[in-house]
Amino acid sequence: MLAALPATPASAVNAVHPTVVSADPANWTPHALDGTVYRILQIGNRVYMAGSFTSVRNANSSTPLAMARLVAFDATTGRIDTTFRVTLNGTVRALAASADGRSLYVGGSFTTVNGATSRYVTRVDAATGARVSGFVPAALNGAVIDVRLVGDRLILGGAFQTVAGVSRKGLAALNATTGAADGTVNLNLAGPRTTNSGATAPVKVEALDVSADGRRLIVIGNFSSVAGQARHQLAVIDLTTTGATLSAWATTRYQPTCANGTPTYMRGVDISADGAWFVVVTAGYTYTNTLCDAAARFEFGTAGPNKQPTWVNYTGGDTLLSVAVTGAAVYVGGHQRWLDNPLGRNAAGPGAVSRPGIGAIHPTTGKALSWNPTKERGVGTADILATPTGLWIGSDTSTVAGEFHGKIAFFPLA
């Protein structure tokens, strides 16, 4: 059993690091034996990994444990806590810690939790996995992909179109204590995108992030307007304790279509710890004058139209899924083969550097750093989390730096 939970949780903002982390992953981390680790969260000395896996095991053990979709383990030893048990009937995509660190908000595609109906979002005890009484979430009609806790509002992004029977396409908020619908986040995401070949899909939020001071929310996904204003796949929202309004910050750089089968190519976003800038990562497979298959840094600065990226780092045709800004580096993950590859066309162009599955970019220059542990690519690195002691990654593959690391790995600070 793990140590008692702390009075306050770790921040949802990625930790600031003085240096780049080691390229040699720790040997003590546990393994997920199937599926994908989509989300990692640390509270004190306890780490939670969530996803679609159904079996796990401890490092240096051959005994599988039938523990599915959400597991807790010790952040120092990697030992799995078998007393933390949650039974969910679908994939977990999102995690957030409560303000006191004693419970977890969980989002995904599940419809039951510990045998009881709880559709797409729930709250569980961080020590035991039991459902928290009193939290009865408003009815959603689709999956939750990302969550952030801001004050007493739990902000949800996902594929849902209604909350408590009221239209809230892709973005909504619940009361963090009761689970009731909170009408203060009502931005009317609309205009699902259509590609050049006619492919389309309902409005959806792929990812979101909130600044450390709780005043800014970034939303990315399949939409073309927010609050009646043109916002192509990316919107900045100003948050107050009583409401949410669309910022004048806007860019048209994500208006063009990338792949014909992909209405939205947005995949991940992370705001810097100081709240001054952010990085977006994308899929796409289109090259000319787009931000497809790339990481792009933007400054908040003064709100206004036609914002342009400070830098762009292209993979040359491979998807990036996840990003974490640490100060010393911008870590990016996906199924990329290269970075620094603006002239690549599904091949290494002039200047390209090999960075399979995981890489690091200089936050100022936008060029790849030398850090290159290498990783089996698969679908890709789904999540990156920086903590005060290092960097966690979650994915669908099990080889990192030439070693077996089942779906999750940890790079300590050097």
Report d(CA 20, CA 18) in Å as an integer: 7
Name the residue among 123, 134, 116, 73 with its Cα closest to residue 98.
Answer: 123
User: What tens digit of pLDDT does each residue of 166-223 get?
Assistant: 999 999 999 999 999 999 999 999 999 999 889 999 999 999 999 999 999 999 999 9
Question: Around 179, how many Cα atoms within 13 Å sit in the side-chain half-sphere?
Answer: 22
Report d(CA 287, CA 345) in Å as an integer: 8
Name the residue among 220, 106, 205 with its Cα closest to residue 158.
Answer: 205
Domain 31-412: top CATH class: mainly beta
Mean pLDDT of the chain: 95
The confidence score (pLDDT) of residue 12 equals 66
Q: State both tokens at 360.
A: 């690091």
The confidence score (pLDDT) of residue 286 equals 72
The confidence score (pLDDT) of residue 19 equals 98
Residue 11: band (very low, low, confident or very high) from pLDDT cuts 50, 70, 90: low
**Where do the structural domains in the chain lie, given as residue ranges?**
31-412
Residues in contact with 116: Cβ distance below 8 Å, sequence separation at least 6, in sequence order? 131
The confidence score (pLDDT) of residue 5 equals 39
The confidence score (pLDDT) of residue 386 equals 98
User: What tens digit of pLDDT does each residue of 397-407 get?
Assistant: 999 999 999 99
The confidence score (pLDDT) of residue 414 equals 79
User: What tens digit of pLDDT does each residue of 75-124 get?
Assistant: 999 999 999 999 999 999 999 999 999 999 999 999 999 999 999 999 99
- The CA radius of gyration of the chain, in Å to the nearest whole number, is 20
Residues in contact with 121: Cβ distance below 8 Å, sequence separation at least 6, in sequence order? 105, 106, 107, 137, 140, 144, 147, 154, 156, 174, 179
User: What tens digit of pLDDT does each residue of 30-72 get?
Assistant: 999 999 999 999 999 999 999 999 999 999 999 999 999 999 9
What letter would DSSP give residue 306? S
User: What tens digit of pLDDT does each residue of 305-318 get?
Assistant: 999 999 999 999 99
Q: State both tokens at 69.
A: 């979709």
Q: What is the dihedral of CA 50, 98, 275, 46, to 10 degrees?
A: -50
User: What tens digit of pLDDT does each residue of 351-371 get?
Assistant: 999 999 999 999 999 999 999
For residue 287, is pLDDT > 90?
A: no
The confidence score (pLDDT) of residue 57 equals 98
Could you tell me how far CA 326 lies from the centroid of its own chain? Answer: 15
Report d(CA 99, CA 153) in Å as an integer: 11
For residue 1, is pLDDT > 70?
A: no
The confidence score (pLDDT) of residue 6 equals 39
The confidence score (pLDDT) of residue 3 equals 39
